[in-house]
Amino acid sequence: MATIELKNVHAEVAEGDEQILHGVDLEVESGEIHALMGPNGSGKSTTSKVIAGHPAYQVTEGEILLHLEADDFDGIEEIPEDARTWDLLDLEPNERAALGVFLAFQYPAEIEGVTMTNFLRTALNAKIEERDELLFGEDEEDEAGEDEAGYDTSPMEGNVDDGEVGVAEFQQLLKEKMELLDMDEKFAQRYLNAGFSGGEKKQNEVLQAAILEPTIAVLDEIDSGLDIDRLQDVADGINALRDEQGTGVLQITHYQRILDYVEPDTVHIMLDGEIVKEGGPELAAELEDKGYDWVREQVYNAA
């Protein structure tokens, strides 16, 4: 069971010194769903970006820690003790992702001739390789050398059988994940970005998370611009991530609507770069009723 823990996080824009986050405290465990809500401009996206390590923002104070348990990754028997707590601020974005912290990446502009399938398989293999390097140090099999019988064990250029998920194995994995998410198989054969609708892009985001099996997934406004049917599909997918893979979800949203379908364990409300109020799912409903001004009044009248 993994936990991500933000402690007193202050952040500013890297170019310049405008402070955006003023001491954010937040903890998400795998298997839990947390909603991060707040009005436009309150700092929700900035929070997601500092978790992922976006270079446009600089953390000036506080910590972001990731705690792993020994058996947090399928296929890894035991994570070494000294590789179970990570200060994410010391890691590059791809290293954070390799340890299971997921923020959907925007696909690079349409790439001629690359299918979703190929793209996702490449992403998965890159993640596994990076992860194993972080947890266990350099992969010895990648070092040039000879085995006991004197055979050359140097890796061959382009050799796909190097602990990677091969084409056939990946097809099977993809099939299972698409069934889990109730997605049309044809989807995977399409070219990256080629004519995906807004809703299909959001479903892609959930598919990425299903393939990469993150410990913690940050989903920023995945509900924006979805019609009700597509919202339901995306919500079912998020529930499946939690129920079937034990993923922890930080669901960032302005509106309460998606929370009717993805019930959060905890709701955090952000205002002006701080989390000012927390509660259970009923807090989201109350917010829907009374609006963010109600929170603002409560907070500033109490101060």
Cβ at position 252, least distance to Mg ion in Å: 7
Residue 46 contacts which entry, ligand ADP, Mg ion, none (Cβ below 5-8 A, type-dependent): ligand ADP
Pick 16 or 113: Cβ nearer Mg ion: 16
For residues 277 and 38, give the distance between their C-alpha atoms in angstroms, rounded to a whole number. 10
Residue 253 contacts which entry, ligand ADP, Mg ion, none (Cβ below 5-8 A, type-dependent): none
Instruction: Name which position in 30, 42, 45, 251 contacts Mg ion (CB under 5 A).
Output: 45
Determine the interface stretch with ligand ADP among 34-42, 136-144, 146-154, 165-173 (rule: CB under 6 A). Answer: 34-42
Pick 34 or 121: Cβ nearer ligand ADP: 34
Cβ at position 149, least distance to Mg ion in Å: 57
In order, the DSSP letters of the chain are --EEEEEEEEEEESSS--EEEEEEEEEEETT-EEEEE--TTSSHHHHHHHHHT-TTEEEEEEEEEEE--TT-STT-S---GGGSEEEGGGS-HHHHHHTTEEEPPPPPS--TT-BHHHHHHHHHHHHHHHHHHHHHSS-GGGS--B-TT--B-PPPTT-S-SS---HHHHHHHHHHHHHHTT--GGGGGSBTTTT--HHHHHHHHHHHHHHH--SEEEEESTTTT--HHHHHHHHHHHHHHHHHH--EEEEEESSSGGGGTS--SEEEEEETTEEEEEE-HHHHHHHHHH-HHHHHHHHHHH-
The reply on whether position 40 binds ligand ADP by CB under 6 A is yes
Cβ at position 230, least distance to ligand ADP in Å: 22
Cβ at position 248, least distance to ligand ADP in Å: 20
Pick 22 or 84: Cβ nearer ligand ADP: 22
Pick 47 or 204: Cβ nearer Mg ion: 47
The reply on whether position 48 binds Mg ion by CB under 5 A is no
The reply on whether position 9 binds ligand ADP by CB under 6 A is no
Cβ at position 168, least distance to ligand ADP in Å: 41
The reply on whether position 47 binds Mg ion by CB under 5 A is no
Residue nearest to Mg ion (CB): 45
Binding site for ligand ADP (CB under 6 A): 13, 18, 20, 38, 40-46, 56
